A and B are shown apart, each in its own frame.
Chain A
């Protein structure tokens, strides 16, 4: 028989299970497979009742985040060859589980909206006058924070979010920062109020688990530290700190 690998999956169906349980499957091993391929194999060949989310299988839609051996991963870019001896797949930590590997992320969706993740301006330039000019250097100020795919790995990794569910959390703060640092935006003051009122921001001790977990190179820990600094120093300081940002 061809090589195989043991995959242990956390199962939970609220209609029939009183608590989550583990189930182990034997799946073919292929060197060029990712963890998601193993899960797809289970669904197609071994157990059609397994529920999980996935779509693009190229690390950009953000659907397939799960805990693999206890660490939050995008399963479409976690290579099977790194888990040759078998592994355990569980739903992302810190979220309510809906079923099997599917978690409830509505809390994030509400928090995202609360930080006003859109361009805020007093006056809109008419479309006929063309684009707002922006240099590639100015884009570099916010570029990394604009790479967030909302995959929720940072929330699963965040010890503060685990204890303090009111905490806005890494991705929402990083996205607030993305707009604060955008030369086209004038919303920093409005957002500072939301951020300052957020429970938990002061408990983030710059452990940086969020930045380690991020599969897209975003550094939410940096966004949180910068936000603390802004909040203390007020919006006036932000114009000094961000010479290209938030000019009126």
Chain B
């Protein structure tokens, strides 16, 4: 199929992608904008975000406070200039979303309400009950329908970025409905494909979170940053990993061990349940190791208790949590404590980019979880990511729009040739080979389980090196993959194989990065290097793809504007 030339092509239709599309359309109503998503945009994983979006909107708050909380939460490897910009923009973005119809929960005076959240020193997490991501995503998607210049290619899977003369000039993608591969040319491309939590077996992430954009950028030569920094959320349901929002603790819920103690008194005494996620997840695992966890079919767990809040508050502020308890655990949280354990939740690492989302590859931008603009450092504070999607999604949309206004059209001949090569690669590797013996699901499950085991809440050199070997083995087996489904129409085995290929690539980078950071900082906790080491590692780790070799790793000093590193205690 032939496509026109687009000015701004966005891969991914979640919070960041939709915000970028609208920003581009508002920057220049004459631009042609395309959102390419492997699902329908309203299925994107932003939909699962629950607790809220942070912004210093209230008079008693200040952007300086929000910035300091974020920098401290990051264990001092966020980019402080980026953080300052973020906290100033976030209130404007939440107001913008309000104007577009987001049903924010309100204070009695009719203003947008806020709740306390982990690592935040004041109430600044704005929320729409406990379905904030759902409401934000649908508000953005429905608002995007207003702009006729925003077109969409739904259920279209991107297999590679097209690069010509050192510039990104479009994408190659499979239309899942027809199986046909096409090239779509664009003056600028924005990657907003979200996270990669499906690399782990036990994750809050939906099936679609396979790190596609990170792998696409990496293979096109764009570095990834801080890929060892993986957030484990302290409260996932033990069987499925379904997220129980931090808002449960924000609203006053207790975390207790099998002795009935609020054990966080020994770990984050001044914050208790409102400590940051990395520290609380480690506290839970430490308690499990002491024998203080409950024992269940799916391993140890803790109790998250909201019974003292009462039915009325629960129904008003946490209705979805009550629904999830009834549906997936068979408990009523009004009367029963919720079983929880740490669960992989968010990737702080991502595609290295500047404050406008621009990457090292001209024409390529990025925003949201797949990007690493420098906001979250070694540990993201809960509710900063939804605001991040808005602030940096909009920034990338504007920057791409401006660049597209200046840029020349890519020539079509090289694009045709690039498409031919890419079509040949996918067909040969996946659909034509009949020699394969390896089963996709087996490799995937083994990767997920071993990543849980070796690249989890606590890490050791031994475990990480073991994982490095395992991943090399998985990749060899992947080369001998057997695809049973030869159909062109909605071949989900093919797309799952392409996703597994992306995940294996990223798992390798994550593991190598984790081996190379020989200290403990934020979410990266090394048992063999339990202390933070500012002398060597007050820095971001940059991983660059080396065709046929291991990732090239180097450290880049962080940008500090106002806040010098201090001990991170709460």
Contact = CB atoms under 8 A, between A and B. Distances in A.
A56 B45 contact: yes
Nearest to A133: B110
Contacts, number: 154
A83 to B, nearest CB: 15
A139 B111 CA distance: 12
Interface stretch (B96-104, B267-275, B281-289): B96-104
Interface string A49-69: 101111111111111000000
Interface string A94-107: 00001110101100
Interface stretch (A11-19, A21-29, A155-163): A11-19
Interface size on A, as a range, is: 35 or more
Nearest to A50: B492
Given A32-B239, A118-B142, A184-B101, A52 B48 contact: no
Interface string B36-75: 0001101111011000000000000000000000000000
A51 B441 contact: no
A143 B99 CA distance: 16
B459 interface: no
Interface of B: 39-40, 42-45, 47-48, 92, 95-96, 98-101, 103-106, 108-112, 131, 134-135, 138, 142-143, 145-146, 154, 177, 206-208, 239-240, 242-243, 320, 323-324, 327-328, 439-441, 445, 483-485, 487-493
Nearest to A179: B101
Given A57-B242, A58-B48, A63-B39, A48 B485 contact: yes
A157 B516 CA distance: 56
B110 A134 contact: yes
A185 B490 CA distance: 39
A32 B239 CA distance: 9
A15 B491 CA distance: 12
Contact of B47 (A61, A77, A125): A61
Contacts of A32: 239
A43 B441 contact: yes
A56 B103 contact: no
Interface of A is mostly: loop
Given A49-B487, A55-B45, A58-B48, A105 B103 contact: no
A54 B206 CA distance: 8
B111 A131 contact: yes
Contacts of A52: 492
Interface stretch (A109-117, A206-214, A225-233): A109-117
Interface of A: 13-16, 32, 43-45, 48-49, 51-63, 77, 98-100, 102, 104-105, 109, 112-113, 116-119, 124-125, 127, 130-136, 139, 142-143, 146-150, 175, 179, 182, 184-185
A62 B43 contact: yes
Contacts of A49: 484-485, 487, 493
Contact of B131 (A53, A60, A62, A102): A60
Contact of A117 (B99, B106, B142, B320): B142
A58 B242 contact: yes
A119 B101 contact: yes
Contacts of B42: 61-62, 149-150
A170 to B, nearest CB: 16
**A51, A109, A148 — most chain B CB neighbours (10 Å):** A51
Contacts of B39: 53, 55, 63
A43 B485 CA distance: 11
Contacts of A127: 92, 95-96, 99
Given A58-B242, A118-B101, A179-B101, A135 B485 contact: no
A27 to B, nearest CB: 14
B48 A175 contact: no
B110 A102 contact: no
B300 to A, nearest CB: 18
